[in-house]
Structures are given as C-alpha cells and as structure tokens.
Chains A and B, each alone.
Chain A
Amino acid sequence: MTDSNTTTLSAPISLPREYKGLLSWITTIDHKQIGILYLAMTFFYFLVGGIEAIFMRIQLAVPNNTFLSPNSYNEIFTMHGTTMIFLVVMPMLIGFANYLVPLMIGSRDIAFPRLNALGFWLLFFGSLMLYFSFIGGGAPSAGWFSYAPLSEKPYSATPGLDYWALGLLLMGVGTVSTAININVTILKYRVKGMSLKRLPLFVWMVFINGFIILFALPPLNAALVMLLVDRQLYAHFFQAVAGGSAIMWQQYFWAFGHPEVYIMILPAWGMISEIIPVFSRKPIFGYGFVAGSTLAIGVLSFAVYAHHMFAVGLGHPFNIAFAFSSMAIAVPTGIKIFNWIATMWGGRIRFTTSMKYAIAFIVLFTIGGLSGITFAVVPIDWQVTDTYYVVAHFHYVLFGGTLFGIFAGIYYWFPKMTGRLLSEKLGNWHFWLTFIGFNLTFFIQHFVGLLGMPRRVYTYPNLPGWGWMNMVSTIGAFVLGISVLIFLWNIFISLRKGKPAGDNPWEAWTLEWAASSPPAPHNFELVPPVNGRRPLWDLQHPDTPDWKLNKAES
C-alpha cells in the first residue's frame, strides 16, 4: 500500500456558478443545489402527506364518524400513500444521494449535470400533475396501488386516475434517469484510490439501489401506459369482461411495488451505516457482509413481490414459492441489524440527536421486519392481509425505519449543507415526541387489525375494541404533528442562529467532511489521499491508519 499524496482534481468544469437568487435555483445544474431542491420539495410534500394523514386520523377517531365523506376519505388516503411513496420517501433519498454521492467519492459533480436537473424537474412537474387532479375533476381514489378494474373507466369515471398515471409516468422517467446518472457517477467519477471496496456504505447502497430502480420502474411505467390506453382508448388490458385480466395489473404493479419497498429503505440503511460508526467511534463491523447482504437483497427483492398476492387465490405452489423467497430475504436483512449492533459494541457512543434516531431506527425497523416475516407465513397472511396489522407493519418499516433514518441523516448532514448545527436541545424534544407519537399511533394498529379492522375504510362500526384503539392512534398522530412543528422551528432557528459547524463537527471519516461547510460550488480544492475506507481517520491518526489496523481488507 503506497501512501500517495493529496489528490488534485482537474480544474472546475466551468467558472464557479452564481449561487444566490431565485434564478440560480431554477437554472442550477449543481448537484448540491439540486439535492437541496429535492429535499425542500420532498419536505413540503411530507407536510402535505402529513396533513392528509391527520385528516384520516380525525375521521377515524370515533366509530361512524362523518367528518369526511367516503369519497373525500378515499381520495385522501390514495393521495397520502401516493405522496408519501412517490413524492417523499423515494425522492428524499434520491435528494440525499444527489447531494452526498459526489462529495463522498471526491468528485466535482454528478456525471450528467443537465440530465440531473431534468430528473428533478420531471419529478416536480409530475407532482404538480398529480395534485392538479384536486381542481381538475377530483383526485384519484383507487388507492396508491390502483387495482384494476376499480381503476378502469367504468368504476373510476373522473379524470383523477389519468392525472395519477400521467404524474407517476413523469416521475418514473425522472427517477430512472437520475438512477442512471448517479450510478455512472459512482462508476466513473471516483477520486484516485477510491476503489469499489472502499466506497462509503451509503454510496454502496445508493449504487445497488440504482440498479433496483432501473429494473423495477419499467414494469410500473408499462402498466401505467396500459392503464391509460384502457382508460383513454378503450382497450381492455385489465378488464375481465372484455377478455383482459385484473390479476395482470397486480403482477405488473407488485413486480415494481415490492422492489420499491427496498428502493425506499436501502439508502436509509446506508445513512445508518455511516452514522452509527461515527457516533460509536468505530468502523462499521463487517463492511463486506453489510455491502454483500445489500447486494443479495437487491437481487432477491425482485423474487418476493407476490407475497402481496397471497389472498388472490393463485394456488399453493405459487404461494409457497414466494413464501420461501420472502423468508430468504429476511436473512441478509437480519445480518445488517446485528452488524450495526456489533458496531456499537465496544464503542464510545455519543448520544447526539442523529444517533438517537439511528438507534431508534434499529429497534423500530426490527419490529417492522419481524412483523413482515409473519406475512411470509402464508396462512397468517390470509388472516391479516388488508387489515390494520399491515398498516402498522409497513409504517414501522417506512416511518420507524426509513423516516427515522432520514431524520438521523438530516441531523447528521445539515451542518455540512448549511454550515450550521441544528439545535440539540430542540432535537431532543423532536426525537422523543416523534418516538412516542410514532409508537402511540402505530403500535396499537397491530391489535386493531388483529381484531378484524380492514384497511382503507372511511369509517367503522363500534365493534369490540375498535373505538378506543383508534382514538389512541389518533392522539398519537397529533403528537407526531407537534413533533414536526418543533422540527420546522429547529430548522428555521438553526439556519439563522445555529452554532457554526466547521468542516467536520462530528469528527467523521468520509470525504464530504473534508469539504468546507457548506461546500464550495466545485466541492473540493484538494481531496485527501484515499488509502482505505476512512480517509479522514487516516489523516487524523497518521500512526494508526486503517491500512495498518486492518491489513486484511484495505
């Protein structure tokens, strides 16, 4: 192993760009500005989707409530799901990748900066297309999964579903182009010394995620086109009465829909794999196993989708095959949980807000993962599918998992993006209210589901247990609402008065912390030498660099 000198990057592609003013945000092709655009837009939609959730919880607070009409409720739950998946979780993670990947691999920008801007604006206008439906004849109301034939013209006559399909198509094209863009960047623009084996785990997971996006989005886009042709040109891909197949929609949709679940969690795993080591003051335990298990998940994620279809009646052999693959995918997921815990083992844990979110992530994601296994036990699925038990399960994965990971990431990288630290005091309030509110809202939904309450009902009769359990859940939702307000205040006040962060407030080890905070438009003047996975550790500890401590893997 040679100790190469500091790497000098080629001269910036163009002169440093104008970085201020509204116009710069619209015309920007800088990956950091585009990353922040993603984060700002997705955070806005997080508030919109959250307000939709509050509306739903008010309606469900008591039995036989009439706060919302059935149609309004159905529109709102459809938009809540569509928004949170397509306009919050997925693009928020892409936004992080956009901002962080070039910095983490010591690059000046992303491979195709203009394509990158196009990807964002396709998402932006796709989202407007989707929300325009509210004033364009009614929002879609067939659920985020829009099962045919309910989504066909005879049963959904308003144009809501057309806006839904067109909006999703625009976003889908944007997402695929951005995934290609990021993966080309990772393959071609790594700084000298940054071999694939030395990639930060966040970059690894984003890289694998890119391939999942590349293969998972086309089935959705194809199905959306077929649905549009059905609705607009009176074809009958999904209409059984005319010789089509309603089940075919489900096959296409879940061929996208389950890999999508992994698209929404992989980058969050990546964040956790960056944050836990730094705040435990130890390298990640079993780098190879964490990266390798993610690769296994990337492949397996395409082979498990039909566990969404166990109640369709496709026969035991079909169900059992997908039960097997769904159980198999739990193994590489479990590996990560144990590796994160082993990373903390023997460390010197610093309980920053970011770390609190990361540790809560491990616990909540484990609960969501274990309840997920019950669906792979096919007979259990036959009872609990399409009940509130499922709602509880996937909120533990996507909120307790991904969103907690995202909050950990925001507290961790906010100083890099803005130059100021978020308030730890407000962060502590934010964390505990989120943690309590989240569990209050969703834990009890396991039980209301086990008492027979189906999903996607705008109201419910006063059957044993349902009333008070739903009330608890609604109270939890309001606690969550308050926690979000505190978070907004924290961002607002810290942007103005937050403590200056310096380049590396957490004494972290990956390359983005070698740039200034916020980074200059061209990211780096000089990039430190990369001789291992933790270039800044090597710089801080010239006597005990990684390549001396860990001869086996560097």
Chain B
Amino acid sequence: MTNSPFNGVSPQAQAISHVFIISLVVLAFILVLVLGLVLFVMIKFRGREGEAEPPQIFGNKKLEITWTVVPGLILVFLFILTVIYANRSDPSVPKGRQPDLVVIAHQWWWELKYPQTGVVTANEIHMPVHKKWLVRIESADVIHSFWVPRLARKMDAIPGHPNHIWLESDSTGTYWGTCSEYCGAQHAGMHIRVIVQNQKDFDAWSNEQQQGPNIPQTGDAAKGQQLFDQLTCLNCHAIKNIGPNLTHVGSRETLASGVITNTPENMARWLHNPQAVKPGCNMPNLYLTNEQVKYLVAYLEASK
C-alpha cells in the first residue's frame, strides 16, 4: 500500500482524505473552466494578417461582479468545510487527559516514552489497534515534524512548545512515517514506523520491554556487553541521551531511524563506520576492531 494521505486508516486521517477529495473536485471544476475558456479564446479569436482592429471593449461591471461573487461563494463553502474538518481530523484534547505516548524528536532519531509503563524505546512505535492514543510531541534540539501519513495529521516538534495529536489505527500493520520539517544534515534519514498490533501482541511486546533483556552469560554476547560498558557507548546512549536507548535494540526492525534494516550484517556495517551509513549523523567512527564489532553485534542483537 502506498503512503498516501488518501489511504487513511484512522477516522482522523480519513476525515482529511474526505475534505481533500471534496476540495479537489471543486477546484478541478474551476481549472477545467479556465482551461476551456483559454482554449476557446485561442481558437476563436486568432488574429489574421491585415485584419482591422477589433471593437474596443473596456469592461463590463456585471461580469466583474459575477466573477467576484461566485468564486467568493465557493471559497465560503470551502471555508465552512475547513472549520468542520479541522475539528474532525484534530479533535480537541479533554482537560487533564494524560498522553499515552511521548515522542521526543532528536537530530536524527525519535525517542519514544510510554508514561504508563515506563517503557523507553526509539524509532518504532508499538501501539494497539482501535485505541485512540494521545501523543505528546516534543523536541530535544531543533524543529522536526512528526508525520505518519496514513494515521494522522502532521505536527511539528518544537523545542519549548510541546504539541499533542491523536494517533489511532483501524487495522494492524506497519505504517511508515518521516520527519517532515527540515532539521539538518540527516533530515532525510529520520523515518518512523508505527507498528499497530492487536491488544494481545501489544501487551506481550510491552511486557518484554519492561523486563531487562536475557543476555547469555558466556560467549560473544557476554564479551560484547563488557565492551559496551567499557567503551564510551553509554556516554551517548544512556547518560546524555544523544543516541537512542539500546536496551532492547535487538527487537527492532530497523536501525539508524529506519535507514537500514536490523540484521547482524547491517549492525556490523553501522558499528564499523556510522558515517558511511548515515553521513553527518551524531555517532562518530569509533574505529572498532573486527573482533570488537563481532562481540558488540552479538550483544546488541541478543538484547531483545
């Protein structure tokens, strides 16, 4: 399925699709009228060599009033639609309603917090089907914009100005989204996924996320865990929050905010040189040895 706004799977997104279609029909009618008039005039009033000057007409008040008032009425109609559908596609938030999910945009990834359960993850929103979630949208640095075309309107993530939208889906599946306010070098590499699950699957996922991952106590993964603690990974990935929380990174579908799929090969490629995968991103090339990469990949992929 394409990611078109006409393909909405929530009442809010469908409302936008409806008003869009009505507006396009009205505007297409005006376009056809103008095109028709221009073509007619071009054919009918083509001048020929040596013809005398045509009658000089300076205007007509009735006509002028017609093409002022009629478009005016059409626009009044569109304005009324705007008011109605603005509320349908973005209903107001009841007082005191707490968010179900907090999205914090970073250069260039999405931090996701579930306040009810304390789950913290990144770039892939898990949510249950048929639930109308209130999402709070914040930014940790510059302005970003949260946009999942098939589920909801776009909303900017602005430092110092938290925003709210409703997120909802009528069917399970993975819905693609992207940052849609220019935010610097890797604006293009800031995808988001919304994974809509039935309640049971969502609960299972949520429970898993609330427990620590089961890392084997011996072998490559254990060595990787040691490396992770010894090297400077935690500086950014936990303490300063510059990079995403990696506790359950092995359970994610993608890496680097949707730039590559999460496979051991891609993880290794990323660890060898993040700048080759996502140039300009905030993770530097740490010049890890092949062995270090191998252990770290084993550890991170085991972190489910």
Contacts and interface: CB of A to CB of B under 8 A. Distances in A.
Interface of A: 69-71, 74, 141-143, 147, 149-150, 155, 240-241, 245-247, 280-283, 285-289, 311-313, 316, 319-320, 323-324, 327-328, 330-331, 334-335, 337-339, 341-342, 344-351, 359, 362-363, 366-367, 370-371, 373-374, 376-380, 382-387, 450-452, 454-461, 463-465, 541, 544, 546, 549-550, 552-553
26 contacts: A143-B182, A147-B182, A245-B160, A247-B161, A281-B47, A282-B55, A283-B56, A285-B59, A287-B59, A311-B153, A338-B67, A344-B41, A347-B54, A348-B51, A359-B42, A373-B23, A374-B24, A378-B85, A378-B86, A379-B82, A385-B154, A452-B2, A452-B3, A454-B187, A456-B187, A458-B188
Interface string B68-94: 100110010011011101111110100
B3 A327 contact: no
Contacts of A541: 53
Contacts of B5: 383-384, 450, 452
B15 interface: yes
A288 B68 CA distance: 13
Contacts of B75: 327-328, 330-331, 373
Interface of B: 1-6, 15-16, 19-20, 23-24, 27, 30-31, 34-35, 37-38, 41-42, 45-48, 51, 53-60, 63-64, 67-68, 71-72, 75, 78-79, 81-83, 85-90, 92, 107, 137, 141-143, 145, 147, 149, 153-156, 158-161, 163-164, 176, 178-188, 191, 279-280
Contact of B179 (A382, A454, A464): A454
B53 A246 contact: no
Nearest to B76: A327
Contacts of A549: 56, 58
B182 to A, nearest CB: 4
A518 to B, nearest CB: 28
B54 A452 contact: no
A246 B158 contact: yes
The 5 closest A-B pairs by CB, nearest first: A240-B160, A348-B47, A382-B153, A452-B3, A457-B188
Contacts of B47: 281, 347-350
A379 B166 CA distance: 14
Contacts of A286: 58-60, 63-64
B161 A246 contact: yes
A461 B188 CA distance: 9
A334 B178 CA distance: 36
B181 A370 contact: no
A371 B31 CA distance: 10
Contact of B147 (A155, A363, A454): A454
A150 B184 CA distance: 7
Q: Is the interface of B mostly helix, strand, loop or mixed?
A: mixed
B6 A450 contact: yes
A319 B156 CA distance: 14
Nearest to A452: B3
Contacts of B143: 147, 149-150, 246
Given A74-B187, A383-B154, A455-B182, 6 more contacts: A147-B181, A344-B38, A348-B46, A374-B27, A382-B16, A451-B3
A383 B3 CA distance: 11
A71 B45 contact: no
A386 B63 contact: no
A377 B83 CA distance: 8
A74 B185 contact: yes
Contacts of A346: 45, 54-55, 57
B163 A313 contact: yes
Given A337-B34, A363-B34, A370-B30, A382 B154 contact: yes
A465 B2 contact: yes
Contacts of B164: 313
A280 B45 contact: yes
A442 B277 CA distance: 30
B258 to A, nearest CB: 8
Nearest to A348: B47
A413 B36 CA distance: 30
B192 to A, nearest CB: 12
Contacts of B45: 280, 344-349
Contacts of B59: 285-289, 553
A463 B142 CA distance: 27
A69 B279 contact: yes
Contacts of B42: 344, 349, 359
Contact of A374 (B23, B34, B68, B153): B23
Contact of A383 (B1, B16, B82, B159): B16
Nearest to A537: B56
Contact of B78 (A327, A334, A348, A546): A327
A366 B23 CA distance: 15
Given A311-B145, A313-B163, A460-B188, A452 B4 contact: yes
